[in-house]
Amino acid sequence: MNSKTIWVIFVVLCIVHQDVWFWHDRTLVFGFIPVGLAYHAGISLAAVTLWTMAIRWAWPSEVEAWADELDGDTPGSIETAAQGSGASQ
Amino acid sequence: MTMPLLLADADVSRLPLWVILGYLALLLLLGTFSATFFRGTSKDYFVASRSIGPFLLLMSVFGTTMTGFALVGSSAKSFELGIGVYGLMASWSGLIHSAIFFIIGIKLWAIGKRYGYVTQVQFFRDRFDSPVLGWMLFPILVALVIPYLLVGVIAACKTMQPVTAGMFPDLFPMDPLPNGKQHPFHGSVPPWLTALIVCFVVLCYVLFGGVRSAAWANTFQTIVFMITGITAFYLISKALGGPAAASEMVLKESPGNADRSLMGKAYFFSYFVIPLSVGMFPHLFQHWMTAKKAKTFRATVVLHPLFMMLVWVPCVIVGMWAAGLYAAGELRIPPTAAGTPNANAALGAIVRELVQNPLVTGILTAGILAAIMSSLDSQFVCLGTMFTNDVVARVAGKDRFSDKQLIWLARGFVLVIVAVSYVLSLMLLETNVFDLGVWCFTGFGCLFPLVFAALYWKRATRAGAIACVVCTVVTWSLFFWDDIINSGPPVFGQETPAKYLVAGMMPAIFIFAASVISLVGVSLATQPPTASAVAKFFPEKR
């Protein structure tokens, strides 16, 4: 699994979020939760699963190393880092 | 012996007030204790020395994102519009907030750590090499945070009045109503005192401990309001003969609240722009900067939707039950000036009439205050940080100040902002400032394309960024005028019960489209940024 798969699942979840099929359904799940609410609680749980998968398979591990290359909070290093930028546009 | 002035009405218990005061005392104690960890540097004051671990980050980000709306507003909207409010606000937010923490938060943290940023304006100014953009963004961000902050202070005042009614009839009397009846808030803690106490408590811990104290306090506040919602749900369902009996009663008395027949499909869809606002909240940016490592974000990314579910589902169900009880004539809810039931009072009313336990009323009120104050503290610190770094240090030159002077400068600004917020909240107490809340979220959400492009689109240019901000402000102002200021019939949209819509959708969707089109169009029409400018913010793939 890679990050593309994660984003495909994310888009699918956004699409199925628009659940027109339960719009007027008043069935009670577990005897007390209207199905329209239970379904969206399910979307929240699916989001938890999706982001668990994301941190497992699509974690941007290079970001941390890149951040640690310079310590921007030490005054000298900001100028050092900025030297590469110059007038930008 | 009790002074006559301090005697409560015979049938009014002061226990809720003692519970609330106990909560505030605990908060003050925790905040003061956390301030002892303050390391005495400006880096610690602004970003907690980038040392916050996963648990504190999770709780502080969640607490900052949730306001009093999570408890009161969720049940109120469920009372008005039915259970669809969960899909509209909470499940959209669960999906989108975590996506933003993952794609925006982590990357901004890395850039902030690498270049020493503590505010959004610093980042945008450097990313687009444009002081003009920085000066444009600063007042916009401040102008959007302040009403959001005032909503919190005013909500605290409005929460305390009904809860403490009758507790101090001699100390805080109120004139009778025009019909001769006693004012419902006669003898309640007045708004000036509630706002003063709330501002004072928050000020005490953020003034000395900065964002670290805000993170600790938010953690405590988040635990309090999460427990509150679940406790209220349990006690109310018990009083109604169990959750199944309560929901069956709704199907019989107010069936529209158990589905989405009270809500349009286009409106439901278009709400996705609102949760995008977390990508541009300056106070959330500051919390992201406090993370110790990128991995610190993992718990926040994964558990945020679960926490939203735990807070929102019980409150939405309680709001639905309140609608059923109200329709059956078994629940009294005070009316608004328009004569309709005041949905914001639904949660308080159902607790008061069904649970009838002053201890629970006190805990519920403390939970609501916790949700409100967990956003307030971060907003106060954030505004102090922005005025110090984006205005004073920028104009005078950072080297002009010692590290200690920067801290005292920030503290001075926090003090001034709290004082100004206090005065403004009292001035705007009786205006419909709550309507401004959704407009603040709309503004932040519609600026989201700017932060996304800054991080992921190398072709985004300075002119494109400026055009994006200008177009967002202009279109936002047009719709805002149409909804809030225009006293005649709306020009662009339609006023429907409790909301202003354009073609059945949130106006945010049109402002968002203008924001994207201007950013992309102007960027493509102008000279691309140099390779060196891009390299600074886009690490090479290895």
Per-residue pLDDT tens digits for B218-250 = 999 999 888 888 888 999 999 999 999 999 999
- Chain A interface test: which of B88, B95, B100 (most A C-beta within 10 Å): B95
**pLDDT(B8) > 70:** no
Of the candidate ranges B319-333, B335-349, B368-382, the one whose mean pLDDT is the lowest: B335-349
Q: What angle do CA B15, B430, B484 make, to 5 degrees?
A: 135
Count the residues in chain A.
Answer: 89
Q: How far apart are the first and last CA of chain B?
A: 77
Distance from A3 to chain B by nearest Cα, in Å? 11
Where is mean pLDDT largest: A66-75, B234-243, B458-467? B458-467
Q: Under DSSP, is residue B307 helix (H, G, I), strand (E, B) or coil? A: helix
pLDDT of residue B181: 82
Query: Could you tell me the pLDDT band of residue A84, with boundaries at 50, 70 and 90?
Result: very low
A14 interfacial to chain B (CB closer than 8 Å)? yes
Which domains does chain B show, CATH number per domain? 4-431 (1.20.1730.10)
- ipTM, two decimals: 0.88
Residues 6+ apart with CB under 8 A from B113: A67, A68, A71, A72, A73, B50, B289
A2 interfacial to chain B (CB closer than 8 Å)? no
| Binary contact (A10, B117; C-beta < 8 A) | no
**For A31, which residue in chain B has the nearest alpha carbon?**
B244
Q: How buried is B53 (Cβ within 10 angstroms: 0-12 exposed, 13-18 middle, 19+ buried)?
A: middle
Residues 6+ apart with CB under 8 A from B506: B267, B270, B271, B273, B274, B442
| Binary contact (B269, A18; C-beta < 8 A) | yes
| Binary contact (A17, B92; C-beta < 8 A) | yes
Of the candidates B43, B268, B269, the beta carbon closest to that of A73 is on B43
A25 interfacial to chain B (CB closer than 8 Å)? yes
Q: Could you read off the pLDDT of B125-149 as tens digits, one per residue?
A: 999 999 999 999 999 999 999 888 8
Of the candidate ranges A72-81, B346-355, B426-435, the one whose mean pLDDT is the lowest: A72-81
| Binary contact (B308, A44; C-beta < 8 A) | yes
Matching residue, tokens 């750590």: B113
**Cα–Cα dist B160/B350, whole Å:** 16
| Binary contact (A73, B50; C-beta < 8 A) | yes
Query: Around Cβ B77, how many Cβ atoms within 10 Å?
Result: 25
B315 interfacial to chain A (CB closer than 8 Å)? no
Rg (CA), chain A: 22
pLDDT of residue B497: 67
Q: Could you read off the pLDDT of B182-214 as tens digits, one per residue?
A: 887 889 899 999 999 999 999 998 888 899 999
| Residues of A with Cβ-Cβ distance to B533 under 8 angstroms | 85-86, 88-89
pLDDT of residue A52: 96
Closest residue by Cα to residue B47 from B373, B398, B406, B336: B406
Amino acid of residue B226:
M
**For B87, which residue in chain A has the nearest alpha carbon?**
A40
User: What is the average pLDDT score of chain B?
Assistant: 89
pLDDT of residue B432: 65
Residues 6+ apart with CB under 8 A from B403: B41, B42
Residue B288, H or E segment? helix B282-289
pLDDT of residue B194: 93
Of the candidate ranges A11-15, B171-175, B255-259, B519-523, the one whose mean pLDDT is the lowest: B171-175
pLDDT of residue B521: 97
Q: Where are the domains of chain A?
A: 3-82
B504 interfacial to chain A (CB closer than 8 Å)? no
Interface of B with A in 346-405 (CB under 8 A): none
Alpha helices in A17-74 (DSSP H): 35-57, 61-68
Q: How buried is B427 (Cβ within 10 angstroms: 0-12 exposed, 13-18 middle, 19+ buried)?
A: exposed
Q: How buried is A62 (Cβ within 10 angstroms: 0-12 exposed, 13-18 middle, 19+ buried)?
A: middle
Of the candidates B95, B293, B529, the beta carbon closest to that of A88 is on B529
B308 interfacial to chain A (CB closer than 8 Å)? yes
| Residues of A with Cβ-Cβ distance to B112 under 8 angstroms | 72
pLDDT of residue B110: 94
A26 interfacial to chain B (CB closer than 8 Å)? yes
> How many alpha carbons fall within 13 Å on the CB side of residue B216?
22
| Residues of B with Cβ-Cβ distance to A11 under 8 angstroms | none
State percent of chain B over pLDDT 70: 96
Residue B496, H or E segment? strand B494-496
Of the candidate ranges B2-16, B247-261, B305-319, B370-384, the one whose mean pLDDT is the lowest: B2-16
**For A28, which residue in chain B has the nearest alpha carbon?**
B247
**Cα–Cα dist B100/B280, whole Å:** 10
pLDDT of residue B481: 93
